[in-house]
Amino acid sequence: MQQERGKRERILEAAQTVFARKGYYQAKIEEIAELAGVGKGTVYEYFVSKEELYKEMFKVILNRYTEYVMVEATPEMTTKEWIRHLLEMHLRYMLENRQHMPTNFGDLGGMDTEILGWMYDMRKRSVNRLVPVFQKGIDRGELKGMDPELGANLLIGMMRGVTLPLMVEGTYGEPSQVAEAMTEILFHGIAR
Amino acid sequence: MQQERGKRERILEAAQTVFARKGYYQAKIEEIAELAGVGKGTVYEYFVSKEELYKEMFKVILNRYTEYVMVEATPEMTTKEWIRHLLEMHLRYMLENRQHMPTNFGDLGGMDTEILGWMYDMRKRSVNRLVPVFQKGIDRGELKGMDPELGANLLIGMMRGVTLPLMVEGTYGEPSQVAEAMTEILFHGIAR
Amino acid sequence: MQQERGKRERILEAAQTVFARKGYYQAKIEEIAELAGVGKGTVYEYFVSKEELYKEMFKVILNRYTEYVMVEATPEMTTKEWIRHLLEMHLRYMLENRQHMPTNFGDLGGMDTEILGWMYDMRKRSVNRLVPVFQKGIDRGELKGMDPELGANLLIGMMRGVTLPLMVEGTYGEPSQVAEAMTEILFHGIAR
Amino acid sequence: MQQERGKRERILEAAQTVFARKGYYQAKIEEIAELAGVGKGTVYEYFVSKEELYKEMFKVILNRYTEYVMVEATPEMTTKEWIRHLLEMHLRYMLENRQHMPTNFGDLGGMDTEILGWMYDMRKRSVNRLVPVFQKGIDRGELKGMDPELGANLLIGMMRGVTLPLMVEGTYGEPSQVAEAMTEILFHGIAR
DNA sequence: TATGAATGAGCGTTCATTCAT
DNA sequence: CATGAATGAACGCTCATTCAT
């Protein structure tokens, strides 16, 4: 029983590594099983199918990410502080987890329609978590009047826009500085 | 007599549709051939392998996109005008080509490392085409002093950030209005 | 629990039959699998590839043959007795195994260069096993002074020369008599 | 018309090279066509199928070989002289035509039953051409009383037995000397 | 007659999933 | 619960052959 929990988690972790490294279709569940130190059949003891395993693993990552990123984010912060903090933590997380959450995740592509739809839903949740932040900022008078969803989508886009090269090439120096620069642009624009 | 000079093009077009609909791994050469109205073997007369076909098709899309988006973009425009125009054309293109260039493209994911690397290179080209625009804007005094590559990456990110929901859900109304809103935010920020 | 320890053997045996009947390139893995009473995939559980299966099967045959032929061959025999025995056993074996080791084996031909090289190596082993026999015969003064390798190659050639029609047409009567005639010719020549 | 003849022969010659180099199944008729300097379809203008081309080419080789080998073979020769001559010419031919008539020919194997049967017939013709030679030798009192077919088969076997390593490894020195040694063994045996 | 673009049957191999132990 | 041997649907790719020109 104790064992059981451990196994499920080991599979999930192995799935993370392998899916990240190979992508969904190239990942073989045998390899995941091996890396997890369990038999191939055991994977099916815990997860109905490859797809289910993928989704489950994705949720785990998302949760871990969310938790990590939201640490110390308090309601007292200004919207700017909050977003700056989000950006920095995001960059830190990505930098620290290059192994487990590389380019293959993050955005859809190459997958069939069904799983793709599911992943889009996941993405939407992120947006939905961000929308109230923008709304509150607007209400408080910190932000311009604007479509909060547009803001959220732009922010998420910016994050990904900078994350991809960051992970692939490892550039961009200190997360705190990049976060600062990004925040500045997002809040005050690029115009001189 | 190369018999039906359009064959290569028909295959490319079919590849577009099928790859877009199914993603790289789920797309079957046979289906592409059928849709193109040719025999399975014919595909291999024109393309060495599935992967090569994919890349070739991707280039075609990219070119078409670039051409479409850059129409009427003149060097006399201010950076702001130029980017606003880019955004609007981008949104128009995506809206018009939901069928052929949906969520599966645009970003990596689910593919194996080799083809993924190739696609990242493609993305980099886009960035590299944008960098000089930012640089010029800075030099002209239109933009703040900033890392032009960061700017390019953020812009690309924003574009994708808003494209995805646009294509999946079809929201956001008029491209010109959304482009306007995005430009405003990019240039003057979200801060009040 | 390796489930049915005979599975590998059954596949090997089926391979024997099918490869013999159809030749390397015409033999289909699926047919071998069927004949062995296993699924197509199972073949690949035990053998990496068609080529590997072929080689493995070939070794098995060769071993069985060698074992059969060498039974009761003792060092005390004279060279003549030894060779006469070899010839007789060879003929017997071929006659008994028409099903499994027909014309397709035994010599190269029709195969691509890689596997052909491997098979030539196999042949060489046979030669190498025969050379010392000739050498000993010469040393003992039973045979003329001669290149023992030439002798070995001639003997092998003679064996095949008579085996082929034997198997295809089934003629030549009693192995012991044919062996006797062959030995007589080999040792004392055809000249009157 | 003049042209026609030339084309057919060029195809035949190319077939020789390619079949020899690759074996029947690995040879691609496209490669043969290319080497012959004709279009792929043209091959089918002259030969019904790959198999027919193979057979036709085989006959050509056989004829050329027979012609070459039988040159200067006169009825006045003793059987021994005749066979010695045959052996030497055979070795010379094989040495000179390593390119065109290598290991892949010469003996069956790897091919499917139909073509195999055909090739066995070809072989039989060789035997049938040799049988009278033995018979005559016996009648003349030059050879022992023996089954002339057995003699013929043994001789053919010996020839192949020494040809294979000769072509693969290129050993065995001067054809005339090897022929001499072989004749000596065949006529007077290996016994001291 | 000559061509080579087009074709599709055919095959080796992979891998998610099942299930007997 | 755990396992891994067994399976077979699925697919990319090849190549002998056809046929319109």
3-state secondary structure chain B: CCCCCCHHHHHHHHHHHHHHHHCCCCCCHHHHHHHHCCCHHHHHHHCCCHHHHHHHHHHHHHHHHHHHHHCCCCCCCCHHHHHHHHHHHHHHHHHHCCCCCCCCCCCCCCCCHHHHHHHHHHHHHHHHHHHHHHHHHHHCCCECCCCHHHHHHHHHHHHHHHHHHHHHHCCCCCHHHHHHHHHHHHHHCCEC
Task: Please report, rounded to whole angstroms, the spatial distance between the CA atom of protein residue B30 and the C1' atom of nucleotide F11.
Answer: 9
Contact flag, residue B44 CB and nucleic strand E, below 7 A: yes
Contact flag, residue C5 CB and nucleic strand E, below 7 A: no
Q: Nearest 5 degrees, angle CA A187-CA B158-CA A88?
A: 55
Which residue from B minimizes the CA distance to A171? B150
On whether the CB atoms of residues C108 and D103 are closer than 8 A, the answer is yes
Comparing every residue's Cα with the C1' atom of nucleotide F3, the nearest one is A39
* Strand E: positions under 7 A of a protein C-beta atom: 1-21
Comparing every residue's Cα with the C1' atom of nucleotide F19, the nearest one is D41
Q: How far from chain centre, in Å, is Cα A128? A: 14
B23-55 tens-digit pLDDT = 888 899 999 999 999 999 999 999 999 999 999
Other CB atoms within 10 A of residue A35 CB: 16
Closest CA to C63 of C149, C157, C126, C132: C126
Count of pairs with CB atoms under 8 A, one residue in C, one in D: 198
Please, what sign has the CA dihedral across residues B67, B68, B73, B79? Answer: negative
State how far the Cα of D9 lies from the Cα of D37, in Å rounded to an integer.
11
Question: Which nucleotide is nearest, taking the CA of residue D40 and each C1'?
Answer: E4
**pLDDT grade for D108, boundaries at 50, 70 and 90:** very low
CATH architecture, range D1-49: Orthogonal Bundle (1.10)
A 5-64: CB within 7 Å of strand F: 7, 38-42, 44-46
* Sequence-distant (≥ 6) Cβ neighbours of residue A41 within 8 angstroms: none
- The mean pLDDT of A18-46, rounded to a whole number, is 92
Contact flag, residue A171 CB and nucleic strand E, below 7 A: no
Contact flag, residue B40 CB and nucleic strand E, below 7 A: yes
The third-level CATH classification (topology) of the domain covering C71-188 is Tetracycline Repressor; domain 2 (1.10.357)
Chains B and D touch (3+ CB pairs under 8 A): no
E runs forming strands in D16-174: none
State how far the Cα of B69 lies from the Cα of B88, in Å rounded to an integer.
8
Q: Nearest 5 degrees, angle CA C177-CA C180-CA C183?
A: 150
State how far the Cα of A68 lies from the Cα of A84, in Å rounded to an integer.
15
What is the nearest CA distance from A2 to chain B, expressed in angstroms? Answer: 33
Which of A19, A31, A108 is the mutation pick for testing B, counting most B CBs within 10 A? A108
Interface check for A24 against chain B (CB to CB < 8 A): the answer is yes
* Sequence-distant (≥ 6) Cβ neighbours of residue C158 within 8 angstroms: C182, C186, D154, D157, D158, D161
Work out the widest C-alpha separation in chain A, in whole angstroms: 62
- Render each residue's pLDDT in chain C as its tens digit; 192 residues: 444 558 999 999 999 999 888 888 889 999 999 999 999 999 999 999 999 999 999 889 888 888 998 877 788 899 999 999 999 999 999 888 876 765 444 334 445 566 667 777 888 888 899 999 999 999 999 999 999 999 999 999 999 888 888 877 776 788 999 999 999 999 999 988
Other CB atoms within 10 A of residue D142 CB: 17
pLDDT at site A106: 41
Instruction: Choose which CATH entry (1.10.10.60, 1.10.1070.20, 1.20.140.10, 1.10.10.410) describes domain C1-56.
Output: 1.10.10.60
- The mean pLDDT of D160-164, rounded to a whole number, is 86
Q: Pull the structure tokens for residue D28.
A: 């691609």
Other CB atoms within 10 A of residue B39 CB: 12
Across the interface, whether the CB atoms of D161 and C154 are under 8 A apart is answered yes
pLDDT at site C113: 60
Which residues of chain D from 91 to 110 reach within 8 Å of chain C, CB to CB?
103-110
Q: What is the CATH number of domain B1-50?
A: 1.10.10.60
**pLDDT grade for A108, boundaries at 50, 70 and 90:** very low
Question: Which nucleotide is nearest, taking the CA of residue C52 and each C1'?
Answer: E12
Q: Do domains B1-50 and B71-188 have the same CATH topology?
A: no
A122-147 tens-digit pLDDT = 888 889 999 999 999 999 999 999 99
C-alpha radius of gyration, chain B, whole number: 19
Please, what sign has the CA dihedral across residues A19, A25, A28, A33? Answer: positive
DSSP A65-105: HHHHHHTT--TTS-HHHHHHHHHHHHHHHHHHTTTTS-TTS
Closest CA to D27 of D36, D16, D37: D16
pLDDT at site D112: 58
Question: Which nucleotide is nearest, taking the CA of residue C29 and each C1'?
Answer: E12
What is the nearest CA distance from B94 to chain A, expressed in angstroms? Answer: 16
Q: Is the pLDDT of residue D107 over 50?
A: no
On whether the CB atoms of residues B42 and B11 are closer than 8 A, the answer is yes
D15-34 tens-digit pLDDT = 999 988 888 888 999 999 99
What residues form DSSP beta bridges with B157?
A: none
pLDDT at site D113: 62
Contact flag, residue D2 CB and nucleic strand E, below 7 A: no
CA distances from B76 to A138, B82, B186, C54, D96 (A): 36, 9, 20, 72, 77
pLDDT at site D138: 95
A45-102 tens-digit pLDDT = 999 999 999 989 988 988 888 889 887 778 889 999 999 999 999 999 988 887 776 4
Q: Where are the domains of chain B?
A: 1-50, 71-188
On whether the CB atoms of residues B87 and B115 are closer than 8 A, the answer is no
Contact flag, residue B39 CB and nucleic strand F, below 7 A: no
C 2-41: CB within 7 Å of strand F: 2-4, 7, 38-41
Closest CA to C161 of D191, A73, B123, D124: D124
Which residues of chain A from 115 to 134 reach within 8 Å of chain B, CB to CB?
116, 120, 123-124, 127, 134
- The mean pLDDT of B116-133, rounded to a whole number, is 85
Q: Is the pLDDT of residue D114 over 80?
A: no
Across the interface, whether the CB atoms of A143 and B192 are under 8 A apart is answered yes
* Strand F: positions under 7 A of a protein C-beta atom: 1-21
DSSP D157-190: HHHHHHHHHHHHH--S--HHHHHHHHHHHHHH-S
Count of pairs with CB atoms under 8 A, one residue in A, one in B: 197
Closest CA to A94 of A10, A181, A178: A178
Which residue from C minimizes the CA distance to D151? C190
Q: Which chains have at least 3 CB atom pairs separated by less than 8 Å from chain B?
A: A
* Sequence-distant (≥ 6) Cβ neighbours of residue C3 within 8 angstroms: none
pLDDT at site B15: 94
pLDDT at site C103: 47
What is the nearest CA distance from C69 to chain D, expressed in angstroms? Answer: 19
State how far the Cα of D136 lies from the Cα of D37, in Å rounded to an integer.
48
- The mean pLDDT of D5-11, rounded to a whole number, is 88
State how far the Cα of A117 lies from the Cα of D99, in Å rounded to an integer.
61
Q: Is pLDDT larger for residue A92 or for residue B115?
A: A92
Interface check for A80 against chain B (CB to CB < 8 A): the answer is yes
C-alpha radius of gyration, chain D, whole number: 19
Residue C166 burial by Cβ neighbours in a 10 Å radius (0-12, 13-18, 19+): buried
